[in-house]
Amino acid sequence: MNEQPNFKETYTEANNLLANAERKADAAMSELPKDVKEKMRKMYETEKLIDKKAGEIIDILVNNQTTWESAAMKSIFGLVHSPLSVFPPKLGKELVQKLISLNKWGKLTENMRWISSTFIISVLGEEYGKDEEKMKRENNDTTPIEPLSFVFSEGDLSGATLDSFGLFLPEHVKITFTGNTWNSTGYKLQGGVLIICGNTSSCTGLKMHSGIIEVRGNAGRQTGDEMFGGTLNITGEVEEFDESAFSQNQGTIIWKGITLWNNGWTPEGLKMKKAGEIPGISADS
């Protein structure tokens, strides 16, 4: 008959091994140079701060779930300012990734899933812009504000929704995304710079007010839908432009290197329109 293990002895032995390992780790830490220990301490404090803020933001989103209504969405946008008012803006990418890894938005209803994975960057960007403008005024500094810049890959945002990517992106913030995005890329852009290295789906530039959207791949249907201003620059093919992009729009639309619209039809754009060369736009409209 096999002898049964003595669990008490095994547990004691495991505890002793763990305690020994901790003593060795502490001894190794004590021998590290002072600057290395300080760097490790700051990294630990940063991780704790990111974990804390991510938890606070998830609670806000879970407790304020709403439907697709821009007014209600703007209200939640305002609520998120509170936990981020003293958060270092340059840690925005790490915070976005933490939110995705902790939650995958799994606690949110389907109506709330549309929140872009860059929602937090937009909030931080507003705070960053206010702080920088205040500092420059106080120092009589007239030089331009250096943009707060982020680069995301598809791997960085794995598991997050890519609808409304760049939602409300404000002035002084630049996001470069190396993959493809979904619907409503650059929704209500507020002066930021959004560069999509891949393709976008429908409604790119929906209701954008100002700023720059550059799509280096292709765009889908209803491109420029209800665009009010800013610059929409698409390098690749466009499945269909929305007619509203060429009506009340006070901004600029560039397609394949040709400026079609600049607060009105350009000569080149009008020529292409009359020739029926702009997808979705009637030659007679």
pLDDT in tens, 102-158: 755 566 665 565 567 788 999 999 989 999 999 999 999 999 999 999 999 998 888
Tell me what percent of the residues of the chain surpass a pLDDT of 70.
83
**Tens digit of each residue's pLDDT (9 = 90 or more) over 33-45:** 777 667 777 888 9
pLDDT value for 151:
96
DSSP SS3 for 88: coil
Model's pTM, two decimal places?
0.83
Q: What is the pLDDT of residue 38?
A: 77
Helix, strand or coil, per DSSP, at residue 28:
helix
Which pair of tokens denotes residue 36?
């290395």
Distance CA 116, CA 105 (A): 11
Please list the residues that pair with 212 across neighbouring strands: 193, 231
Instruction: In whole angstroms, give the CA distance from residue 246 to residue 224.
Output: 8
Q: How far apart are CA 216 and CA 195, in angstroms?
A: 8
pLDDT at residue 241 is higher than 60: yes
For 129-165, b/e burial (b = at least 16 CB within 10 A) is beebeeeeeeeeeeeeeebbebebeeebbeebbbbbb
Which tokens is 141 given? 């500094």
119 CB neighbour count, 10 Å cutoff:
26
- The mean predicted confidence, pLDDT, of the chain is 86
Query: What would the mean pLDDT of 84-92 be, rounded to a whole number?
Result: 91
Average pLDDT over residues 206-218: 98
